[in-house]
Amino acid sequence: MKSLRIGTRDSQLAVWQATTVQNLLKEKGVDSELVYIKSEGDLDTVTPLYELGVQGIFTKSLDAALLAGRIDLAVHSMKDVPTQLARGIKEAAVLERASYKDLFVYKGDISLLTEELNYKNHQWLQNNSSFTIHHSPLPTHHSPFTIATSSIRRKAQWLNRYPNHQVENLRGNVNTRLRKLEESNWQGAIFAAAGLERINLRPQNSIELDWMLPAPAQGAIMVVCSENDEQAYEATHQLNHPITALCVKIERDFLSGLKGGCSTPVSGLAVMSYAQIVFKGNVCSNDGRETFSIEKTVDISEAEDLGKKAAMEILEQPSALKIVQDIRNAKA
C-alpha cells in the first residue's frame, strides 16, 4: 500500500491533530507523511464547490489540495467543517471525541470573579438554561467587565447570561489568542477546552463553562478523503469511533436543519447515556437577548434522525422561528 499524504495546516494544534492521525494509522500498519498547507494562494487550480454557498474558512485550502490530488487525507477540527462537504470529498473517519466543553481563561485572582460571574466554590450558581424561550433583560448599565471571543455562539450565550458585560473580538490560533489575552486589559477569554488541552496549553487560571452549550462537533476530529479513493478510505476508516460519529452527526444535522454554520449562534450536544442518546440544543439571537433551547432523549436505535427532528421542532415554535429568520436575514 502507498504511503498516505496527510494534509494539515501548520498551526501547533493542527499539526498535533494530524500527527495523532498519523500515529493511529501507524498502529494499523499504514505508512503516512504530513504535508503542510500554508495558504490558499498556491491552490487556485481547484476551487471546492460547496452546496448552499457555504465555504469552510479553516478547511477550504486543505479541501482544494485534496481535490487537486496533492494530498490523500485532510484532518480537520470537525466543528470547523461545513455540514455539507465539498463535492468530491467524503468523511473517512471521526476520532473518539475529547472534551466538548468551552473554557473561560481569566486574569487576576479567581475571587474577583465571584461578584461578576456568580461563580462560588467551583460552581456556577446562576442557571438560565430552562430549555424554553428565554429573554435576557436589557442591561441598565454596562459593566467594565470585558471578555473576548471570536465566536458568535459564545458571545450570544455569554451576553444572554451576563447582558451588561462587554465582549471584544479575539482572532488567531490558540497560541496567538492566549498571547493577546495576556497583553490585553480584558478580564478573560473563551477557548475550546480540547484545543488547549491537546497541546498542553490549558492555563491553571481556567474554568469549564458547564452552562454553555458547545458548537456542534466541538472536540471531535474529522478525517476526509476523495470520494473515489477507496484505498485511503479503507485504511482510515479503521480509526472511526462509531458513538462519536453518531453524536456529532446528530449535532451537525441540528445545525444544518436550522440552516446554520460555524459563524451562527447555534449550539448542540449529543451524548450517550447507557442505551440512550441525550441531545441538548439551542439557538440564540445574535445579541444574546433571546435564546430557545430544546432537550430530547431517545433510544440509540432511534437516534439517527434526532438532530433533524429537533431542528424541525424548534422551527415549529413561532418565537424560535423568528430568532432563526432574524439570523438568516442578518447573514443575507
Question: CA 5 from chain center: how many Å?
Answer: 25
pLDDT at 243 over 60: yes
* Structure-block grid coordinates of residue 44: 487556485
The share of the chain scoring above pLDDT 90, in percent, equals 67
Give me the DSSP letters along 172-237.
Answer: S-HHHHHHHHHHSS-SEEEEEHHHHHHTT---SSEEE-TTSPPPTTTT-EEEEEETT-HHHHHHHH
User: Residue 58's pLDDT is what?
Assistant: 67
Active site residue 80: yes
Q: Residue 46 pLDDT > 80, yes or no?
A: no
Active-site hit among 10, 72, 80, 102: 80
Give pLDDT tens digits for 47-101. Answer: 332 333 334 666 888 999 999 999 999 999 999 898 999 999 999 999 999 999 9
The mean pLDDT value for 160-187 works out to: 92
* Helix H or strand E segment including 89: strand 89-94
Q: Tell me, which fold does domain 102-127+139-208 have in CATH?
A: D-Maltodextrin-Binding Protein; domain 2 (3.40.190)
pTM here is 0.89
Q: What is the CATH code of the structural domain delimited by 257-331?
A: 3.30.160.40
pLDDT at 53: 37
pLDDT given for residue 109 in this prediction: 82
Q: What SS3 class is residue 270?
A: strand
- Name the average pLDDT for the chain: 87
Select 4-95+220-240's CATH number: 3.40.190.10, 1.20.1090.10, 1.10.10.10, 3.40.47.10. 3.40.190.10
Return d(Cα 194, Cα 165) in angstroms, integer: 26
Tell me the domain boundaries of the chain: 4-95+220-240, 102-127+139-208, 257-331
4-95+220-240 and 102-127+139-208 share one CATH topology?
yes
Between 328 and 190, name the one with better pLDDT.
Answer: 190
**Alpha-carbon distances, residue 277 vs 101, 124, 253 (angstroms):** 18, 25, 14
